Amino acid sequence: MLAKELAGLLDMSEATISEIENNKRSVKAYEIAEIADALGISAIALFDPNSFSSSIPVFARTGGASTSTEKVQRVVRWYADFKEILDPHIQRDLELFNARPRVEIGEDFLKQSKDLAAWCNEKLEGWRTSDDKFMALKFEIEQKFGFDIVLIDAGLEEILGASLTSAEFPLIFINSSILKQRALFTLAHELGHMLSVTDSPLILDYKLKDENNVEKFANAFAAEFLMPESLVKEAYERHQFAGQFLEELLKTCGVSWQSLIYRLHNLRLINSKVRSVLLEIGALGYQAYVLDKNKLEVDLLPYEVPLKAAPGSILAEAAKRAFIAGDLGVNPTLSMSGFTEEQLASLYPPPGATSTEALDVDLEEFKNMGVTTEVVEAPSLTDENRVYA
């Protein structure tokens, strides 16, 4: 961005920007924040080149970024700014993640993605039997792989998800405004990135198109992980190509009609003509066709409870611990933990109480989180204890 363009975004002259750039004028803290907001980067990254925030890619505003993309970028940099504060409070188990089969994405990405997906299906088996497959998979990935999945309400625009593939601070972001079946595929796609990419810290995903081998790999991984060839073919053996076949796969895999039809075509169970027709008529059209032709009732459009914004479970617990230790403020704790103000207030001791008493309110929950309830001196806010300086 040129100094002239930046000056246009700020209440500053081009000459002032130029003086700042050339170290001829000191910069005030609010000016750093204004410049950082205008550029779409972290103020801490701008001020401190040694911070973790500055180690992830600069999200410089280029003029083409949409509101939803900017929102995801803002949340990514917001989390990154707290990395150093949260670090001592984060309890994540990366043993399984570190034991993953190593992948060098090349021309044989199909075979590699299939092998990695098979390994993942061995490790992540609980989510498939859940009624809410997305949330079950989210929780299982967080618990077993040790990285957080944050749901952001980024609106019905093009961004679907993002991966911060840093081994120090692994995070997946999913746009909670998209349909749940699409979100599940996006989550599996981002999982593919997290397990295979090491040299590109941040990946933003828009339409999950096969733009390069990294994206092709992640798509192939997601398809094989959610709809394993063996599972699809077993169902085919049982039903042949009947209504129940599609119903069973949609329910078992939790994917969208579109993903399933593409998968069947890629597995050569349907030809391209059938694929086109099925995509054209959609699940509703096929459901009506089956009922009309075979008098067979199938449910291809199960109702799904929409997703909503939600924090990652590991960081949420770390935020609560950091809050209790006095390392994290109220507002970031609320954003990161998903707590309400009332729930958070219950962690703050009432006047005259020790924090242990306050913690008793929610002790069971904190026992489950593994938080120790050490006694901290309660801040007293009574008039008698105030000393005017």
Q: How far is the CB of 143 from other proteins (least distance, A)?
A: 24
> In whole angstroms, what is the distance from residue 307 CA to residue 135 CA?
9
- Residue 110 as a binder of other proteins (CB under 8 A): the answer is no
Which range touches other proteins (CB under 8 A), out of 70-78, 208-216, 244-252, 296-304? 70-78
* Cβ-based nearer residue to other proteins, 72 or 359: 72
Which range touches other proteins (CB under 8 A), out of 38-46, 125-133, 234-242, 288-296? 38-46
- Residue 342 as a binder of other proteins (CB under 8 A): the answer is no
Beta-carbon count within 10 A of 371 CB: 19
- Which of these, 188, 186, 181, 269, lies nearest to 226 by C-alpha position? 188
- Residue 332 as a binder of other proteins (CB under 8 A): the answer is yes
Whole-number Cα distances in Å, 239 to 199, 258, 323: 44, 20, 55
- Residue 380 as a binder of other proteins (CB under 8 A): the answer is yes
Contact 383, 375 (CB under 8 A): no
- Residue 389 as a binder of other proteins (CB under 8 A): the answer is yes
Which of 1, 33, 96, 242 is in the footprint of other proteins by CB under 8 A? 33
- Residue 379 as a binder of other proteins (CB under 8 A): the answer is yes
- Residue 19 as a binder of other proteins (CB under 8 A): the answer is no
- Residue 272 as a binder of other proteins (CB under 8 A): the answer is no
> In whole angstroms, what is the distance from residue 382 CA to residue 14 CA?
51
Which of 6, 17, 42, 161 is in the footprint of other proteins by CB under 8 A? 42
> In whole angstroms, what is the distance from residue 275 CA to residue 272 CA?
5
Q: How far is the CB of 184 from other proteins (least distance, A)?
A: 24
For the segment 348-377, give every residue that binds other proteins (CB under 8 A).
Answer: 348
Which range touches other proteins (CB under 8 A), out of 37-45, 107-115, 216-224, 282-290? 37-45
For the segment 298-327, give every residue that binds other proteins (CB under 8 A).
Answer: 326
Number of residues that bind other proteins (CB under 8 A): 38
Q: What are phi and psi of 25, to 5 degrees?
A: -150, 135
Three-state SS string over 128-197 comes to HHCCCHHHHHHHHHHHHHCCEEEEECCCCCCCCEEEECCCCCCEEEEECCCCHHHHHHHHHHHHHHHHHC
Q: What is the DSSP string of 261-273?
A: HHHHHHTTSS-HH
Which of 13, 15, 48, 306 is in the footprint of other proteins by CB under 8 A? 48
> In whole angstroms, what is the distance from residue 83 CA to residue 81 CA?
6
> In whole angstroms, what is the distance from residue 42 CA to residue 32 CA?
9
Which range touches other proteins (CB under 8 A), out of 78-86, 220-228, 272-280, 298-306? 78-86
Whole-number Cα distances in Å, 83 to 79, 149, 170, 190, 290: 7, 15, 11, 21, 53
Which range touches other proteins (CB under 8 A), out of 77-85, 98-106, 224-232, 261-269? 77-85
**What are 215's two structure tokens?**
């994206």
Which of 2, 292, 293, 388 is in the footprint of other proteins by CB under 8 A? 388
- Residue 381 as a binder of other proteins (CB under 8 A): the answer is yes
Q: How far is the CB of 27 from other proteins (least distance, A)?
A: 8
The residues near 230 (Cβ < 8 Å, ≥ 6 apart) are none
- Residue 151 as a binder of other proteins (CB under 8 A): the answer is no
- What is the per-residue burial (b if ≥16 Cβ within 10 Å, else e) of 249-273? bbebbbbbbebbbbbbbbeebbeee
Applying CB under 8 A, which residues contact other proteins?
A: 28-30, 32-34, 36-37, 42-44, 47-48, 74-75, 78, 81-82, 326, 328-332, 334-336, 348, 379-383, 385-389
